[in-house]
Structure 1
Amino acid sequence: MNSSVLRRLRDLPEFEVADRDPDPRGWTVRGGDGRPLGTVYELIVEPEALQVRYLDVALDAALQPNEHERHILLPIGVAALDAEADNVFVPALNHENVLRYPPYVELQITRDYERAMLQALQLPAPPEGEFYGQPAHDAGAFYRSRR
């Protein structure tokens, strides 16, 4: 894991979501077709940059995911907050392709896993030195509709 870089927000009591931003934990995650895929379970942050990098999504049981593959991570920049309701939209995913998305085993985030996520979303892999500097990891785009 990039454990020296990424942490669960709940493990960082000195950190919290910025006052101007809503905390999406517990919100429904909807695919490009508007159908629910699951809920935001946790935020994965890069403490040094004070940035949320990933949404840990618990998939809806109605999708019948394997019990060991109930969670996925989404780069925050590929999702968007609903401007009016407590929903998170992920246009690149839907009921058909979400179960082919790489499952997330808690706290096992490797660079290979991060690249697999980007590939599943059909996004180019960023250069190593600029990994989190790409649009897929832009928290500003995620929160823009609610600011």
Structure 2
Amino acid sequence: MAPEEKIDHRLEELHRSGYKIVDGQPDITGWNIKARSGKKIGKVDDLLFDPHSHKVRYLVVDLDNNELGLNEDRRVLVPIGIAELYTKADSKEPRERDLDPAYSAYDPAEGGNVVYIPSVSAQQLDELPLYEKGRLSRHVEMAIRRILEPQRHSAYDEDEFYRHEHFDDDRFYEPHRHHHSKNR
């Protein structure tokens, strides 16, 4: 008989917690999520955050109506630092990224609020474990890490787990700054 899997209750769904989005940041719930190709992955269903650090750790992604051929009756978790936020305000002024092939899916003329996940493949999304509210364990989080970071096989230090760039919410809220500073 397998030992009982320890459920981690540190993270909560934002919209059912009584907490609110930080002033000045958009509530991205319901926003479309797109792949680098511009195809729809799904929608942001909610955000998982740590109430002690007040940091968002994951997007809860609803795969309904995706254009990648994935099973639509699923919700999965994607670390916040992998995603990139583009708002209508971003579309008002041209930027270098609009010419960058990595951002070819972003159409400033579209003028919409969109979340992009440019570095995750349809196969990786398909392999992600099903998200079940109240059932998140470190084992599930490790599975997500292994799928999204397959080249790394070493153990993760428990105290350092969320210090990885995948959980850097600044990368999400300010992707333009991080993208350009990385290329300098």
TM-score normalised by length of structure 1: 0.86
Residue matched to 1:2: 8
**Unmatched runs of 5 consecutive residues or more in structure 1:** none
Give the Cα separation in 2 of the matches to 1:122 and 1:66: 24
SS at match of 1:48: coil
Q: Which amino acid letter does the alignment assign opposite residue 89 of structure 1?
A: Y
Residue matched to 2:135: 108
Please list, as runs of the form range in 1=range in 2, the aligned pairs for 1:2-81 lying within 5 A after superposition: 2-3=8-9, 5-13=10-18, 15-62=19-66, 63-65=69-71, 67=73, 70-81=74-85
Give the Cα separation in 1 of the matches to 2:122 and 2:137: 26
Q: Is the Cα–Cα contact under 8 Å of residues 55 and 75 in structure 1 kept in the other structure? A: yes
Q: Is the Cα–Cα contact under 8 Å of residues 38 and 58 in structure 1 kept in the other structure? A: yes
Residue matched to 2:163: 133
Give the Cα separation in 1 of the matches to 2:78 and 2:25: 18
Percent of residue pairs bearing the same amino acid type: 30
Structure showing the higher strand proportion among its residues: 1
Give the Cα separation in 1 of the matches to 2:84 and 2:135: 25
TM-score normalised by length of structure 2: 0.70
Give the Cα separation in 2 of the matches to 1:66 and 1:21: 29
Structure 1 residue runs of 4 or more that deviate by more than 3 Å after TM superposition: 61-64, 94-97, 123-126
Larger radius of gyration: 2
**Unmatched runs of 5 consecutive residues or more in structure 2:** 1-6, 92-111, 178-184
Deviation of the 1:106 alpha carbon: 2.0
Residue matched to 2:173: 143
Residue matched to 1:121: 148
Deviation of the 1:126 alpha carbon: 3.7
Q: Is the Cα–Cα contact under 8 Å of residues 21 and 146 in structure 1 kept in the other structure? A: no
